[in-house]
Amino acid sequence: MKRLALILCVAVFALAQTPVRRGEFRITAASADQAGPVRHLSGNVTIETDTFLLQADQADFNEDSQEILARGEVRIKVK
């Protein structure tokens, strides 16, 4: 699975190396950059809620549309 997009119902912000809680989301990544409303995450990206865990090599989060585009090796575990 090379690409995967998820529509999320809650806005999420990500910071490199530090788990961040925004609503129900916990996000980590080795690095993060912002370009307008899009936050680019790379390196061991994890996005976790009480209901799922997403792991990817890279992911982009659009704060306006609340969409995540995950790339590379992508895994989703439903809890």
DSSP for the chain?
Answer: --EEEEE-SS-----SSS-EEETTEEEE-SEEEEETTEEEEEEEEEEE-SSEEEEEEEEEEETTTTEEEEEEEEEEEE-
More confidently predicted of 12 and 65:
65
Give residue limits of the domains in the chain. 3-78
Diameter of the chain measured on Cα atoms: 32
- Lowest mean pLDDT across 38-42, 54-58, 73-77: 38-42
pLDDT per residue as tens digits for the range 15-46: 344 454 455 678 899 999 999 988 899 999 99
pLDDT at 13 over 50: no
More confidently predicted of 72 and 8:
72
